[in-house]
Amino acid sequence: MNITLLGAGAWGTALAIAFAGKHQVTLWSRETDVADDLRQTRENHRFFPGYQLPESVAISTDFAAAVGTAELLVVATPIAGLRPTVENLKALGVTLPILWVCKGFEAGSGKLPHQVVSEVLGPQAVCGALSGPSFAEEVAAGKPTAIALAANNPAFGRETARQLHSTRLRIYANDDLIGVEVGGAVKNVLAIATGTCDGLGLGLNSRAALMTRGLAEIARLGLALGAQRETFMGLAGMGDLILTCTGDLSRNRRVGLALAENKLLPQILEELGHVAEGVYTAREVDRLARQLGVDMPISAAVAAVLDGRLNAAEAVEQLMARDPKEEVA
């Protein structure tokens, strides 16, 4: 299959490496310096140093040319780049199937990725999400990984999952696009919460409780949006939550650790050097939960800390002071 990856950040580069052994891959970059570096050294020193891109991967800065050779497009930008990317596709009259690996709710609109794509390209666009417990570094290194592929067209989803599946990157078809997207989005918010918990030294009991109650929050919001409950027990729900909340490679967890040190958010993001989607998603999740009447106290606390309305210790005290309730998933 001819695959074009739109975006040469960490995930675009990692997937180019992962897919190159089985498919013809083009990696498109909007940054000329990144593309030149990739051509000359086969390494993405700016966004993803330490991993060699196979010689078979074509590098392009010509958007129309990169798209024109493809059978499948994979958008590998942060969610803020999704709308501009699909608007460029619309301008070219492109009707190819599209997948994305970004996770979150679009800032301002509160839309999930599939809603953004449908809004720009129309409801007839065949599209879907790749999501699950996966760090780009481990995918690029060929370490065994399992993720879900959910699409608005189940037949396309199953066939594409089969074609992209490999021994090291195992891809499982899922017909719950909303659930897969909600799981991928909200787990980043909860990873900030878990990092904060660990940074404050609250212990492993607290971490386990936070993750478990956080999973209940994900499910409540997902169900309110039309997702299937069982999705949150799978790769894109529980699996991604566990990895992002506990893995040292998690950018969102690192944001939480820094918040526990009372660092200011601009400083944290500058030191991080990469996008941490949970920072932008937290506000949208909190707003959407209030709009829908969904109880999400952990997510609300994260949004309050990020907005400067509470510090980390105050947020914990607020959560601990909540009245006891029956445990309901």
- Give tens-digit pLDDT for 158-211: 999 999 999 999 999 999 999 999 999 999 999 999 999 999 999 999 999 999
In this prediction, residue 268 carries a pLDDT of 95
In this prediction, residue 190 carries a pLDDT of 97
pLDDT band at 326 (very low <50, low <70, confident <90, very high): confident
In this prediction, residue 328 carries a pLDDT of 65
- CA dist 103 to 27, 78, 181, 193, 306, Å? 20, 8, 7, 17, 18
- Give tens-digit pLDDT for 12-47: 999 999 999 899 999 999 999 999 999 999 999 999
In this prediction, residue 8 carries a pLDDT of 97
Q: Is the pLDDT of residue 320 over 90?
A: no
Q: Is the pLDDT of residue 329 over 60?
A: no
The type of residue at 253 is R
Active-site residue 187, yes or no? yes
- For a pLDDT cut of 70, what percent of the chain falls above it? 99
Q: Taken in order 127, 132, 137, 140, is the CA torsion positive or negative?
A: negative
Q: Taken in order 71, 72, 76, 79, is the CA torsion positive or negative?
A: positive
Whole-model pTM: value is 0.95
In this prediction, residue 327 carries a pLDDT of 77
Return the exposure string of 279-312: e unless at least 16 CB atoms fall within 10 Å of the residue's CB, then b: bbbbbbbbebbeeeebebebbbbbbbbbeeebeb
Q: Taken in order 252, 257, 260, 264, is the CA torsion positive or negative?
A: negative
pLDDT band at 234 (very low <50, low <70, confident <90, very high): very high
- For a pLDDT cut of 90, what percent of the chain falls above it? 93
Q: Which domains does the chain have, with CATH numbers?
A: 2-175 (3.40.50.720), 186-320 (1.10.1040.10)
Q: Is the pLDDT of residue 120 over 80?
A: yes
More confident residue, 274 or 158: 158
Distance from C-alpha of 85 to C-alpha of 117, rounded to nearest angstrom: 10
Angle made by CA atoms 210, 212, 217, in degrees to the nearest 5: 90
Provide the 10 A C-beta neighbour count for residue 263: 16
Q: Is the pLDDT of residue 284 over 60?
A: yes
Q: Is the pLDDT of residue 57 over 90?
A: yes
The predicted model gives 290-298 an average pLDDT of: 96
Q: Where do the H-state alpha helices sit in the chain?
A: 10-20, 32-41, 63-68, 82-92, 113-121, 136-140, 154-164, 177-199, 204-225, 240-246, 251-260, 265-272, 277-292, 297-306, 312-320
In this prediction, residue 325 carries a pLDDT of 77
Q: Which of 219, 267, 275 is nearest to 107 (CA)?
A: 275
The per-residue pLDDT of the chain, averaged, comes to: 95
- Paired residues of 46 in beta bridges: none
Could you tell me if 319 and 312 are in contact, meaning their C-beta atoms sit under 8 angstroms apart? no
In this prediction, residue 146 carries a pLDDT of 98
Radius of gyration of the chain (CA): 19
Distance from C-alpha of 42 to C-alpha of 50, rounded to nearest angstrom: 10
- Active-site hit among 22, 103, 143, 187: 187
